């Protein structure tokens, strides 16, 4: 067997010969285009690794029985994806060493190419579960060449992480047994707490202005309504219909159970999965936001090279393209440990890997 040589293993001649700045072939080559090119090629390499990890995680979740071993593997691979997304913010820092005037010197060479045409990033968005409307296909898919459109269509026909995660959460068995319904006890506990808050407010009414008292009263009433509606599947489904919720009802409340009892051994790994997804979403949000700020510094009010509205589009997409909003909303339903219902031994034994 021949010895492995570093440059051959990494295909360095091919890799390092892949930087061909367009301005270098013109009468006025621009030094700074090399940086722009390397940064975006680096993104695509990291996108490839994210897709590699993401596809494996989807495969491990896409089964009726996600074992503890596979769940551990998922937390490791999602954690790797999280670390990679943290690098994106540093890429922006490097790109920010490029002055707007320097970018303008070679920008015209890029038209009509655009980051919108990144097939891999579109695949990451779908793979994580981001939903797109008809505008997406008009604004983005139409900008891809036919070969990439076909690849994207084939990828979108496969299950995404949100779908398999929703199914996995919906199957969680611990909240309800033949003799016990956790959610009945949970609502009782929450309403007891809000009633206590109401009594405290009434007892201290003279310490509040009329306007502030009314506001505090409304907050308590809204909290009571919110917790009561939590178990109403019809109300939940209407929120999903209006785009205010993403997970199905069963998956949403089971995710809340995981957040409430994350310290129980059987809930540790499920919580790590959900927590890591929240942080991945945060990193992508911050990356989009940093990219928007950088684009504004570079372009001002100009259109993007791909014909988009530039900064205005980036600002809108930063807030619209959140991936796991439901997991953020769960914090509004958490209660102090002392207020959580005491689980029966039958369930505690399961959560502690003890046989009944």
Fold of 28-351: Methane Monooxygenase Hydroxylase; Chain G, domain 1 (1.20.58)
Give the residues across from 181 on adjacent strands.
176
Nearest to 92 by CA among 39, 55, 44: 39
Residues in the chain: 356
| pLDDT per residue as tens, the chain (356 positions) | 889 999 999 999 999 999 999 999 999 999 999 999 999 999 999 999 999 999 999 999 999 999 999 999 999 999 999 999 999 989 999 999 999 999 999 998 988 888 888 999 999 999 999 876 655 666 677 788 999 999 999 999 999 999 999 999 999 988 888 788 899 899 988 888 888 888 999 999 888 898 999 999 998 888 888 888 898 999 999 999 998 899 999 999 999 999 999 999 999 999 999 999 999 999 999 998 888 888 888 877 655 554 454 566 666 665 567 789 999 999 989 988 888 888 988 899 889 875 43
Q: How far apart are CA 122 and CA 139, in angstroms?
A: 12
Burial of 116 (0-12, 13-18, 19+ CB in 10 A): buried
Compute φ and ψ for 181, nearest 5 degrees: -125, 105
Specify the residue for token string 């690849």: 151
Domain ranges of the chain: 28-351
The Cα-based distances of 320 to 7, 85, 130 in angstroms read 43, 19, 10
């Amino acid at each position: 067997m021949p010895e492995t040589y570093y440059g051959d293993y990494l295909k360095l001649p091919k890799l390092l010969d892949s930087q061909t700045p367009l301005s270098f072939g013109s009468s006025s080559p621009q030094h700074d285009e090399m940086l722009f090119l390397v940064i975006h090629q680096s993104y695509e390499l990291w996108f490839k690794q994210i897709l590699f990890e993401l596809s494996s995680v989807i495969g491990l979740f896409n089964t009726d029985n996600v074992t503890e071993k596979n769940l551990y593997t998922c937390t490791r691979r999602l954690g790797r994806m999280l670390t990679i997304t943290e690098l994106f913010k540093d890429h922006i820092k490097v790109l920010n060493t490029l002055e707007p005037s320097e970018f303008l010197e070679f920008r015209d060479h890029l038209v009509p190419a655009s980051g919108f045409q990144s097939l891999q990033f579109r695949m990451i968005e779908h793979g994580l579960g981001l939903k797109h409307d008809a505008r997406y296909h008009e604004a983005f898919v139409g900008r891809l060449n036919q070969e990439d459109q076909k690849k994207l269509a084939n990828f979108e026909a496969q299950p995404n992480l949100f779908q398999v995660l929703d199914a996995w959460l919906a199957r969680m068995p611990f909240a309800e047994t033949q003799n016990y319904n956790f959610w009945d006890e949970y609502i009782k506990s929450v309403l007891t707490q809000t009633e206590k808050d109401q009594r405290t407010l009434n007892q201290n009414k003279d310490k509040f202005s009329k306007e502030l008292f009314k506001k505090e009263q409304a907050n308590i009433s809204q909290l009571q309504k919110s917790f009561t509606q939590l178990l109403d599947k019809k109300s939940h489904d209407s929120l999903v219909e209006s785009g205010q919720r993403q997970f199905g009802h069963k998956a949403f409340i089971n995710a809340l159970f995981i957040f409430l009892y994350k310290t129980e051994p059987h809930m540790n790994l499920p919580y790590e999965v959900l927590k890591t997804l929240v942080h991945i979403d945060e990193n992508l949000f911050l990356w989009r936001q940093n990219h928007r700020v950088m684009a504004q510094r570079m372009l001002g009010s100009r259109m993007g090279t791909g014909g988009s509205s530039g900064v205005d589009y980036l600002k809108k997409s930063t807030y619209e393209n959140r991936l796991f909003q439901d997991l953020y909303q769960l914090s509004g339903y958490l209660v102090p440990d002392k207020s959580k219902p005491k689980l029966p031994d039958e369930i505690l034994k399961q959560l502690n890997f003890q046989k009944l």
